[in-house]
A and B are shown apart, each in its own frame.
Chain A
Amino acid sequence: MLESLQHLAAGFGVAMTLQNLFYCLVGATVGTLVGVLPGLGPIAGIALLIPVTFGLNSTSAIIMLAGIYYGAMYGGSTTSILINVPGETASVMTCIDGYQMAQKGKAGKALAICAIGSFIAGTIGIFGLVFLAPPLAEAALAFGPAEYFSLMVFGFIVLSNVTGASFLKSLMMAVIGLIIGTIGLDPVTGDGRFAFDSPSLLGGIEFVAVAIGLFGIGEVLVNAARPAELLEQKVVVPHLRELYPSLADLKESISAILRGTGIGFGAGLIPGPAPVIATYASYMVERKISKHPEEFGKGAIKGVAGPESANNAACQSAFIPLFAIGIPFAPPTAILLGALLIHGVTPGPMMITEHPALFWGVIASMYIGNLILLLLNLPFVPFFANILRIPKKVLLPLVMLFCLTGMYTVNNSMFDIWVMILFGALGFLARKWAYEAAPLLLALVLGPKLEVAFRQSLMISHGSFDVFVNRPISLAFLVATALFLLIPLATMFRGRVRIREAAGKGEG
């Protein structure tokens, strides 16, 4: 434990250099902006800024990109409170009581409690990261290809289970993502697959193009589909002096903040869109244990403090599986995995020993980033609120231009732009038919890893599938997967029985 603290101190040394402080500030600011702007979430935001990091060293690059991720969580809450529109999905729960508080003239208080809660959660989350990641990485050293395969399968099943309206639809999206991931060179033999003699296809599908397409352009198109008169918003801009919560508010919220932190931290460790699950769970818990549950939905400060702390803690702990095992459990960390690979760093058990400056530097930067966000968000809230006044019919073309330019800069490739537009259109259609895009993106990034793990396991076992159940850790993941598979089946079956019973009663 003492060793971890020493490493962390060294990490602060890395993060406190002028250059890294600057990129931390840039990341946090851009993150807040993409969180505030509807139509751009953390996934598209990180993907768009990857090319900007090409000239940087890997530590500065990841410091900046990680800043976008947790910065977006702060920004997303601003729009929830001020205009009742979640800037990204993790802020949906904040809309409920946050907007009600704004309606009662307490927008400043709501924003401040968000920032303070997020800061406390972020701080505790980072200590969790410091103490949990190294032992987990050590444990992951025992993982062979079979364990990795089973863990990834577990991840896909859980993510598909918790996202979207239909489990089968999400699972189909994951398989489609895996198939798209096989385009290009076979990771084992080096043969071309599905390339149709095109050199561009032989290079594989650029995951940045898919990410910007599905989550950037897809979102822009969804917004563009709404008739023009619906594109305008009314914005409440709070005054600076309203931004400081009273001691009584803080006292009331602190327990919710701590509970939210615990829930969020746990959610980040398991597969799935951690911040979304964490905010939902935290809100439900707060309402359940409150002495005044009737206040929830009418501007309860705990309904803002809990979920907002939860999503920040989840953001921090989501880095644990990424850094320690090398397997991201949700799209934002999957994009970060892609960025790490571009910079020649393979996250996983060896990363902490091979790239200590990067690992501890990024963790320390998250702490500094949280502080920056606290300082940035409170006084600049009126500025961010004013950004919301830009009409959507101006904002959407701007976002579009930025996506197009950003995509071109990744590889200077026209082919990538076409891929991005295609996935933009697909993202729009997926949204319309309620197919969840997140499993597709995660599968695309993890696909080659999954395939290599699958083939290596079977090579070791001489073609026998026993290898997946004979090894205890792998078996444990598969048993957990089976349990998660049974849940949707059971609910489906129960629903059918209920309907049949109802129909039976109707006939009787």
Chain B
Amino acid sequence: MIVLESVSKRYGAKTVVHDVSFDVAQGEIVGFLGPNGAGKTTTMRMIAGYITPTSGRVTISGLDMATENEAAARRIGYLPEHPPLYDVLDVSTYLRFVAKAKGVPAREIASNLERVTTACHLEAVSRSEIFKLSKGYRQRVGLAQALLGKPEVLLLDEPTAGLDPGQIHETREVIRAFGQTHAVLLSTHILHEVTLICRRVAIIDGGRLLAIDSPNGLQKASEQTNNVTLEITAPADPLRAELLSIEGVYGVTVRPIPGRPSMQMVDCQVDARDGIEARIARAVSGRWELHRLERQRPTLENIFLRYVGQGVRGKEAAQ
């Protein structure tokens, strides 16, 4: 549905997106993660046709954005980072304008408006002028316009920004339902959101695509950064030495637990081998009193920080 082939964008001497390639299939929601200034919005804008890539190709349902822009645009529902709303218009007039501009046939406009108004819970404000709406409602009006006209592809740049928890849940449900039969690319800062609704995650930083995989796939790939956490009554230095002598443990941080004399909180960085927890338990439980031992799987946040950290280190190395 959405295909990017070696897409780059340069402004003068500055390259903001480097050779990015990925695709989003029908029935798939892909989360687009990256820190501020990573190139997410520029990439979204190139997919939406607002700006053209300096090199590379974007296709939507097989239509080239560069040569078949109008036909491709009919297949896209796009919610930019800032909802593009006309403050002087009321919600209904605004949605009617977008529907007409999208080429929705006159006889279907009323049913289209009803569908998106219900989906985005806008019934109470459909006659209100947009400048009077709260941030949450503005965001939902922005989402409603993106859903108008049966788009095959949804591009959502931070769709839940500014919503309260109830509205976030409702919006996610709308996206999830849409994503079952369409292609959705969802840019967000909320990592939890990605694990909840996205089948795959694309991580971008410094304009480069660092990884694209399912949240589980990224976790597997990152398991060498697993942590094992211990709570143990033991002297710090012998404990550190004992742990570092175990094969598969390559980093140890020992911190005393406040108010619990001689008890330590230990973070061990371990590799991906199975049974590492058992080896640590055997090594320390004979000598000291072990209270808790837990192997922590990498969270998406850790994975994200790891990839983004690599990106930063890569840039520093290049400099």
Q: Report if A and B associate in a common complex.
A: no
